[in-house]
Structure 1
């Protein structure tokens, strides 16, 4: 067997080739992250493998930089194992000389593969990769909207501090339509009352009218907001509102595309408590092939909600925090699902109440529910059977 260890970086990669005994078959090879670099590596492997031995390649999941080389090597039919850098870091500690350079890193990755002390983070089929990409992009867009809303609130608090009391949701449709046209007290007071009524009536589909218009006018008249540089504040708020509306429209389109992709998989993921199509897509795509986890505890560790261990000599810490290693996307999705499941699923709700009765903080109890939910997730995906809540 021939083993290739690849240390991945943004612009270049370092590779080394060893045999099944750990003997190096070539010096460290530095290749650019390009077509030419991939071809150089492939040709080198073929020139060494004159006896047509099995070739196994190992590389670390360093950001997204490993993906192009991975896909090119996959086209050649090589067996590729993508490992979490944490696994090679722990293996590196076995070596007395721990000097850090790229050629040593490539060799250590090859050694990790040779000894088989790893679990893979493989790229699943194209649909799974697409589902993961879109799910992560949706989270990015959701966070972007949240940032824009916080900025908008900050500006409104300065120019129209009373506005927050006028609508139950500052970013609901009626409020957004009003802010798009008039967002300072001065602009609202200058607006014809009939026009204001028309905006509210149209946006709320008849629920809001003259009474709400008069309430808004009254609040604007008595506002204690700042009275300087109002044109700049107005311009900025209206720009932010347009960005919010645009990205929220994109999120709706994203969710539709995610739903289409999710339906391609024969999965009972949405039968889990607190899990709909959006969270289901995140959980499924971040986990990938459930068979790569030996048991549920491995999935918990991958999610990063296993407790970190603090030990020195005979001391073992008893108040340990979550490790927060692994997939932050999966961890976020599981926690969101747990917050719903803790109050709706009979089993998980009872478990949550039990933790609370033991004096645990709400978020600590939710963390315990999230951990239990991962065990349920492992069982559901492993058996490919729907979750059936117990009465």
Structure 2
């Protein structure tokens, strides 16, 4: 009996490659290694045994360049008994993607090779040099040894969702950086607007005039009355009138704190901080723009996510639209995965296990050998569920009591969610819980706009009710 998952250290991927080699025959294979770049690619044609059939050559990153590669492949196929063409392409940024699509269209067998794999091939030969020709030979060796994956590039709604969620993450990071710059300028203009440490009942306490520095009231004052002298000039009655006129909802307690902090501010005079006031307004403009872009993007993500199979994740308490969309997008197409453990390895959140001589295996830190964006999402998901999901919050507390660091516990909860998400999406089932106050409709209304709540109910609730009837 042949156990195909054990045919190769790469498991299922290795088994497929071994089957392909057996059926085609090594003598009838042509290996084309391509080192992708932005403007000029480089390629080499070789037999399966490593014989160079066409020396390394350059070709431009356009259709004319690809036609040149096709011509050389056809010449070699006519001169030798070639039945299958295997194209190995190193994942260089996004420059390799058009090549992969074109090669698939031509019917070539494509193997996408990670740059780390070619690096390991060079190290195995004790060669620390790195040139284009060495990279090509490393790709050839990687293909011969069965490295790489034959999966096609992601496409469709999952791919679009991945682009949107990653773009949102970039905007959120940019917004955080902008907020930090605003704090820096505010330190020079009116430091105490962010809060102040005071003595109260013999203890030091941090007091803030605003619950959020980037709320409506604080933003308005930073833009129009940023300096302590502006606050003192308005006074109590002026601030109250301003609050009513602009609907800032400033409480008397906040007004009192603002006036007290302004009267004791360490800031320089207003004419000495004109540059910081100018830059502060510019950063506030950028923050408004980013907020608007994120809002528009989040609506787009919600409308797309609700139409995918991953929408079932929204029934899980603690999984909001953006979090669920990011998780589903990074998981990608599940058809090529047999179990959730493969997804955890893809994220690189699987623990490193070492065992030798029949001894008890030791578990080390997570491997971090997977996709960084997926790993970051797994951490964020675990962190959210540890607070907002009652069942998983208990798991988190249990992990903490066992001595786990919070970050370790977040990763463990994130991995648990990957397993749950894999099952829910594969089987298209909703979240099941014994939580007494859990109501599906209430959970969805917290996360989705009314129209999308109805879409979800039509797809998952009403359709199931009609089919069971």
User: Would the aligned equivalents of 2:382 and 2:414 in 1 still touch at CA under 8 Å?
Assistant: yes
Counterpart secondary structure, 2:34? strand
1:163 and 1:319, CA in 2 relative to 1: closer, same or farther beyond 3 A? farther
Match of 1:41 in 2: 69
Please, which runs of 5 or more residues in structure 2 have no aligned partner?
1-28, 195-207, 436-469
Alpha-carbon distance in 1 for matches of 2:422, 2:428? 10
- Could you tell me how far apart the structure 2 residues matched to 1:258 and 1:104 are? 43
Q: Distance in 1 between matches of 2:106 and 2:219?
A: 53
SS at match of 1:49: helix
CA shift, 1:262, in A, is: 1.8
Residues 181-216 of structure 1 show CA distances to partners (whole Å, capped at 9, x for unaligned) of: 1211123334587664454335546x3366644543
| 1:57 corresponding residue in structure 2 | 87
Distance between the aligned counterparts of 2:238 and 2:120, measured in 1? 67
- Alignment partner, residue 33 of structure 2: 5
CA positional deviation for 1:167: 0.4
Give yes or no for the alignment of 1:279 onto 2:328.
Answer: no
In the superposition, the TM-score normalised over structure 1's length comes to 0.86
What aligned pairs does 1:12-23 form with structure 2 within 5 A after superposition? 12-23=40-51
Residue 280 of structure 2 is matched in structure 1 by 237
Partner of 2:192: 162
3-state secondary structure, aligned to 1:63: coil
Selected match of 2:292 from 236, 244, 249:
249
How much has 1:111 moved relative to structure 2? 3.8
TM-score by length of 2: 0.73
5+ residue gaps, structure 1, are none
Contact 1:6–1:16 under 8 Å retained in 2: yes
What are the superposed Cα offsets for residues 105-143 of structure 1, whole Å, 9 maximum, x if unpaired?
223324433443333564211433322222111111101
Deviation at 1:244, TM superposition (A): 0.7
- Counterpart residue number, 1:216: 258
Match of 1:132 in 2: 162
Tell me whether 1:151 sits opposite 2:181 in the alignment: yes
Larger Rg: 2
The 5 Å alignment of 1:256-275 reads 256-267=299-310, 268-272=312-316, 274-275=318-319
Distance 1:79 1:350, change over 3 A: same
Change (3 A) 1:354 1:211: closer
Q: 2:341 aligns with which of 288, 292, 297?
A: 297
- Structure 2 residue 58 is matched with structure 1 residue 30: yes
For residue 104 of structure 1, the aligned residue among 114, 119, 134 is: 134
**Which one of the candidate residues 98, 113, 119 is aligned to 1:83?**
113
Question: Equivalent residue of 2:416, what SS?
Answer: helix
Higher relative contact order (CA 8 A, sep 6+): 1
CA 1:74–1:219: 2 relative to 1, 3 Å: same
